[in-house]
């Protein structure tokens, strides 16, 4: 059996993931809409042989806290480029690194999403990935004509059907449907293109897609979360998951239980890569790294964390005294429930005030922090990998671009020297990098037979 290899994705931001990272003297301030900044970052990540770039997204300014966006835009960076526009540009500025973008299943149409990611996969010659999220808050809902975001169970049920429709559309063209035969005048073989004919509870989509099947068959499917509803959906569908795990023991338990769910769904455990988020705080020595972490945390304003939490939970924390103990609001969380049930529970157990919780959350977003020299951070990464707490990580530098450059230029070579991370790309597609098989085009015969019988497929 081939030895496991570590997988690494870079979380792409302009300001860094620590909510006070932009304030640190080592951070470089600039516009979040300068493509040259992202080009330099992508080129460095590709030179380090990372699996992919990962672009998160939100469809609103955070305006749940206090019922407006004042605090969110005043005390921390907010807003980012549209992910597919950014990655389309980077697809022609890079050649090997994967390109993962977040698009919501709650506020988009399956046909658009299928077409967008098929296009990105063609532009990049097989490097696209879709982070399929359900979104979290009412601010997003109000930007799409709704008063309130869907409930937790309903949005996951809708998401599963959404995934089915998109994959069906990608499969409406066979890989060899194009003929491009000038002599006969036949451009394509119509017998190798079919309707999707999807009729479900949430969507009715006829198809076919109006461009050929993506080079990867299906762009890689990423899903992010930790809740039981998320795990059930991801075990059946995802190929990469991006969970929130803060400690080694919790991560090991989650990894073991999730891989069991994948097996119960009739899939190989290797069919889904578990890549938790990771905050690396790196300096030349462990002592200097600890000092850097202290400097970053000292710059945190609790309001930055509380506004982020309010939007993510879809619950307004401004209605509570920030100096009072954290109230038990778990039954009222309608947003990112799996993560914040744990966060709120731990804060109550610790006896924290809301201000203390806001400060803590702003410093890590509840992800694991690896603090130390490049060797120490590599030790921690290897421990999580060797002890099956992760198949790799989504690296979330606390400040930019220096936090990313430290990791790419100092930690990655250490991992390469240890033989757990690649020194060269072995293939050209993201599926090659991740060790994932290309999905076969399935269901055509069954679908056509069912349609002839007048039955749902």
Q: What is the pLDDT of residues 132-180, one digit of tens each?
A: 999 989 999 999 999 889 888 889 999 999 999 999 999 999 999 999 9
Quick check: is 329 in a domain?
Answer: no
Tens digit of pLDDT for each residue in 206-250? Answer: 999 999 999 999 999 999 988 899 999 999 999 999 999 999 999
Q: How far apart are CA 327 and CA 270, in angstroms?
A: 41
Domain coverage including residue 407: 7-287+366-452
Q: Kindly write down the DSSP assignment for every residue of 389-413, as one continuous string.
A: S-SEEEE--SSTTHHHHHIIIIIHH
Task: Tell me if 396 sits within 8 A of 11, measured CB to CB.
Answer: yes
What's the pLDDT score for residue 450? 37
Task: Tell me if 338 sits within 8 A of 225, measured CB to CB.
Answer: yes
Helices (H) and strands (E) in the chain, counts: 17, 14
What's the pLDDT score for residue 443? 65
- The domain total for the chain is 1
What's the pLDDT score for residue 248? 98
Quick check: is 337 in a domain?
Answer: no
Six token digits for residue 267: 């899939």
What's the pLDDT score for residue 66? 95
Quick check: is 121 in a domain?
Answer: yes
CATH of the domain at 35: 3.20.20.30
Confidence of residue 6 (pLDDT cuts 50, 70, 90): very high
Quick check: is 242 in a domain?
Answer: yes
Q: Bridge partners of 53?
A: 10, 99
Characterize 283-313 residue by residue with b for buried, 16 or more Cβ atoms within 10 angstroms of its Cβ, and e for exposed: beeeeebeebbeebbebbbbbbbbbbbbbbb
Quick check: is 323 in a domain?
Answer: no
Cα 278–chain centre separation = 13
Task: Tell me if 49 sits within 8 A of 421, measured CB to CB.
Answer: yes
Quick check: is 303 in a domain?
Answer: no
Q: How far apart are CA 144 and CA 152, in angstroms?
A: 18
Confidence of residue 30 (pLDDT cuts 50, 70, 90): confident
What's the pLDDT score for residue 288? 98
What's the pLDDT score for residue 270? 94
- DSSP code, position 92: T
Quick check: is 173 in a domain?
Answer: yes
Task: Tell me if 292 sits within 8 A of 312, measured CB to CB.
Answer: no
Span 295-322, average pLDDT? 96
Quick check: is 272 in a domain?
Answer: yes
């Amino acid at each position: 059996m081939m030895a496991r290899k570590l997988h690494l994705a870079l979380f792409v931001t302009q300001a860094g993931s620590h909510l006070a990272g932009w304030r640190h003297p080592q951070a470089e301030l600039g516009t979040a809409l300068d493509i040259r900044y992202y080009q330099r970052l992508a080129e460095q990540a590709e030179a380090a042989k990372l699996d992919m770039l990962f672009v998160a997204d939100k469809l609103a300014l955070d305006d749940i806290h206090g019922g407006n966006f004042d605090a969110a835009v005043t005390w921390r960076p907010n807003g980012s480029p549209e992910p597919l526009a950014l990655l389309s540009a980077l697809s022609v500025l890079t050649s090997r690194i994967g390109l993962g973008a977040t698009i919501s299943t709650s506020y988009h149409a399956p046909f658009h999403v299928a077409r967008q990611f098929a296009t990105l996969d063609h532009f990049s010659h097989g490097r696209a990935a879709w982070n399929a999220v359900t979104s979290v808050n009412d601010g997003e809902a109000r930007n799409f004509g709704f008063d309130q975001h869907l409930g937790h169970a309903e949005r996951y049920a809708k998401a599963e059907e959404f995934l089915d429709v998109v994959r069906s559309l990608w499969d409406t063209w066979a890989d060899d449907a194009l003929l491009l035969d000038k002599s006969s005048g036949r451009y394509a073989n119509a017998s190798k293109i079919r309707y999707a004919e999807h009729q479900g509870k949430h969507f009715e989509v006829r198809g076919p897609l109006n461009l050929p099947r993506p080079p990867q068959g299906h762009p890689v499917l990423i899903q992010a979360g930790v809740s039981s509803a998320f795990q059930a959906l991801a075990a059946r569908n995802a190929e990469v998951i991006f969970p929130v795990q803060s400690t080694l023991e919790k991560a090991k338990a989650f990894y073991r239980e999730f891989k069991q769910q994948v097996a119960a769904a009739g899939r190989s455990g290797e069919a889904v890569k578990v890549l938790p988020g990771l905050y690396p705080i790196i300096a030349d020595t462990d002592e200097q790294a600890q000092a850097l972490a202290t400097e970053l945390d000292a710059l945190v304003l609790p309001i930055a964390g509380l506004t982020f939490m309010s939007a993510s939970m879809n619950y307004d924390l401004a209605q509570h005294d920030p100096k009072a103990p954290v109230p038990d609001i778990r039954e009222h969380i309608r947003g990112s429930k799996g993560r914040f049930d744990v966060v709120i529970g731990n804060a109550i157990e610790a006896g924290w005030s809301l201000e203390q919780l806001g400060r803590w959350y702003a410093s890590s977003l509840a992800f694991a922090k690896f603090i130390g020299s490049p060797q120490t951070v590599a030790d921690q990464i290897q421990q999580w990998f060797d002890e099956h707490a992760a198949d790799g990580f989504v690296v979330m530098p606390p400040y930019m671009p220096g936090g990313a450059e430290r990791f790419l230029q100092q930690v990655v070579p250490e991992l390469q020297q240890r033989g757990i991370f690649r020194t060269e790309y072995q293939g050209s597609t993201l599926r090659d990098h991740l060790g994932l098989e290309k999905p076969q085009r399935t269901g055509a015969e069954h679908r056509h037979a069912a349609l002839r019988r007048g039955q749902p497929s």
